[in-house]
Amino acid sequence: MKASAITLGVIGAAFLIAPHVYGNRTLLFSMMAFIVLAQGLNLLYGFTGYLPFGYVGFFGTGAYTTSLMVLHSHLPVLLCVVAGGVGACIVALILGPLLRLSGAYFSIANLAASQILYNVVSNQDLSKITGGPYGLKIDQVYDPSASYFTMLVILLVATGLAAYFRFSRFGMALRAMNQDPTSAAMAGIDVVRNRLIVWLVSASVAGLAGGAYAWNLSVFYPDAVFTLQISVFAIVFALFGGVGTVLGPVIGAIVLYALYNAVGISAPQYFEFIYGFLIVVLVLFLPNGLMSLLARRGVRVI
Amino acid sequence: MSLLEYALIGGILYGIFFALVAVGLNLIFGVMRIINIAHGQFVLLGGYGAFLLTSRAHLNPLYGVPLAVLGAIVVGVPLFRAVVPRLQKSSNPEMLSFILFFGIAQMIDAVLIMVFGADQRSLPQDALGAGSITVFGQSFPDSWWVASAASLLVLAGLYLYFNRTRLGFATRAIMASRDEALATGIDVERVSMISFVIGLALAGTAGVFVPYLLGSISPDIGNELTTTSFAVIIIGSLGNPLGTGIGGLVFGIGTLVMQTFFPSWSNLVPYALLVLIVLVRPAGLLGKSVRVT
């Protein structure tokens, strides 16, 4: 518990100081967004074993809900970001029946669901509401520093949730469910309810991140917030660090996103190749991520 | 009325062809219980093979079919040896194969962009016949008929393979029960490898015709082809080539009807069908969906 508090403090301090040391605030912001996404995905995949391949659907839903709220209501922007989280949560509730599927079927159905969201939002026929393929513009509330701090708060919340899942009684129940749902149900754990809670929490985290992201960009196309690439990054970053841990996704996202910016921006196809290769190597040789290397040496990882 | 006829006949042709696109995925899953999420990328490789043949060697794209089979052997055997036995020994083969093949898909995408660029490529329009064939007053280009005929031929071939050959019997035995197949002395490893190669060859063969049915190919349509294939095999039923044919028909007619009447919504068809079917049939047409209550 103490270790988790220290972790949160260190992450918070690091991203408060970082803009003063390193000038590229946009990069720091995107890095935080990807840590949040990796952590949010970790909440679901790491603790229940459900891999949401269409995770980006919630991110995009958040971005659109927040932007539409900014455009059509007079609420403060922060509340609109919260609405982004709520919007994603509602979509997750509607998609709740997907949790009846197991393993890869869940992942594929979730991917299809996110494609449906994307196709609806970017549809020409709905241009009047969603801007269709031309996206949305909320530059009247553009505020890079406020959105930066908002994303930092979301990051701390997501990491705090991971710590809660890892160390609380609820987390123990999740671990039991993950290992053997039948026995867990016998032991009096409400498997279906717990799974649904984690699913909604994980979706809300992505929705909040999407809202803050839209605020930071303030002008975006549907592709920018619905590209499958975002799901892929979240999955790879989380796996690389180690799912089911608190720190794994954070470290995975920081290391790989920095690498992506070193190699990827100038020649994205090389990076695509490298991380494709990385995924293959990870699955074959290090399925539990960087954190498992430490755990193997007897370090108590959080 | 003629619009509807157009959509129905076009949908049947389109659907029969998409059964060929999807059937390789079905076979690999049925035999190995691993999920080849790079399926669409292997389809693309077949398409780009045909593109090379037509643009560099000025051959008929149909030579792409033997090239696809050859490619499937050259790529499939080492790939199978490198990853499949390892995956099958792991704690969760289905999920891990899903992630691993996603990595492979990304690598193929990257290589395709490096070699061919991100542009759309198409094959010479008249290579499969320049005219069109008219049925019930609706005409479709020759290439559509050739693609559907090729698909029917391959599906019939698969049917004979499963029902008339020793290897086909062994394959079906493994699909039914891997452990019992092992116990009866079937060389599961070898049969699995052959099925893996056949699955890739089927994907590549379908790829040769994809540029005609979709108008062009580009590296970014791989994932879409994969999800479409999943929709087709989930609508049909697993491990049964005839089921995939039915899945293809439902998907094809659905897509063309939407394209004809609500063109801007037609991209939704495979995804909507996929989600609907898995939700309406939670017991799973793929046979494995568990809910603990």
Judged against a pLDDT cut of 70, whether residue B290 lies above it is answered with: no
Token reading at A29:
């912001």
- Interface touch A51/B106, C-beta < 8 Å: no
Residue type present at position B93: P
Chain B contact set for A192 (CB, 8 A): 291-293
pLDDT tens digits, one per residue of A216-238: 999 999 989 998 889 988 988 99
> Averaged over B142-150, what is the pLDDT?
87
Please tell me the total number of residues recorded for chain B in this structure: 293
The nearest alpha carbon in chain A to B88 belongs to A284
| CATH architecture of the region B2-280 | Orthogonal Bundle (1.10)
**3-class DSSP state for residue A167?**
helix
Query: Quick one: pLDDT at residue A74?
Result: 83
Query: Quick one: pLDDT at residue B238?
Result: 62
Query: Quick one: pLDDT at residue B242?
Result: 66
Judged against a pLDDT cut of 50, whether residue A60 lies above it is answered with: yes
- What burial class does residue B228 get, using C-beta atoms within 10 Å of its C-beta: 0-12 exposed, 13-18 middle, 19+ buried? buried
Judged against a pLDDT cut of 80, whether residue A301 lies above it is answered with: no
pLDDT tens digits, one per residue of B74-112: 999 999 998 888 888 877 777 788 888 988 998 998 899
Q: What are the residues facing B139 on neighbouring strands?
A: B134
Query: Quick one: pLDDT at residue A296?
Result: 82
Judged against a pLDDT cut of 90, whether residue B293 lies above it is answered with: no
The structural domains of chain B, with segments of one domain joined by +, span 2-280
- Interface touch A276/B103, C-beta < 8 Å: yes
28-87 in chain A: CB under 8 A from chain B: 49, 51
Query: Quick one: pLDDT at residue B117?
Result: 82
Share of chain A above pLDDT 70, in %: 99
Distance between CA A211 and CA A75 in Å, rounded?
14
Nearest to B278 among A109, A184, A192 (CB): A109
Distance between CA B63 and CA B232 in Å, rounded?
27
Query: Quick one: pLDDT at residue A161?
Result: 96
Distance between CA A172 and CA A293 in Å, rounded?
23
Nearest-Cα distance to chain A for B224, in Å, is: 10
- Interface touch B227/A108, C-beta < 8 Å: yes
Measured on CA atoms in the order A48, B274, B223, B21, is the torsion positive or negative?
A: positive
Distance between CA B181 and CA B174 in Å, rounded?
5
Please indicate if any CB of chain B lies within 8 Å of the CB of A97: yes
Query: Quick one: pLDDT at residue A155?
Result: 96
Distance between CA B194 and CA B98 in Å, rounded?
20
The nearest alpha carbon in chain A to B89 belongs to A284
Chain A contact set for B268 (CB, 8 A): 115-116, 119-120
Residue A1 confidence class, pLDDT cut points 50, 70, 90: confident
Q: How far apart are the first and last CA of chain A?
A: 9
For chain A, how are helix, strand and coil distributed in percent, rounded to 5? 80, 0, 20
Distance between CA A146 and CA A215 in Å, rounded?
9
Please indicate if any CB of chain B lies within 8 Å of the CB of A278: yes
Chain B contact set for A270 (CB, 8 A): 110
- Interface touch A276/B113, C-beta < 8 Å: no
Supply φ then ψ for residue B196, to 5 degrees: -60, -45
Judged against a pLDDT cut of 80, whether residue B279 lies above it is answered with: no
Please indicate if any CB of chain B lies within 8 Å of the CB of A109: yes
Nearest to B94 among A104, A116, A182 (CB): A104
φ/ψ region of A244 (left if φ > 0, alpha if ψ in -120 to 50, else beta) reads left
Please tell me the total number of residues recorded for chain A in this structure: 302
The structural domains of chain A, with segments of one domain joined by +, span 2-296
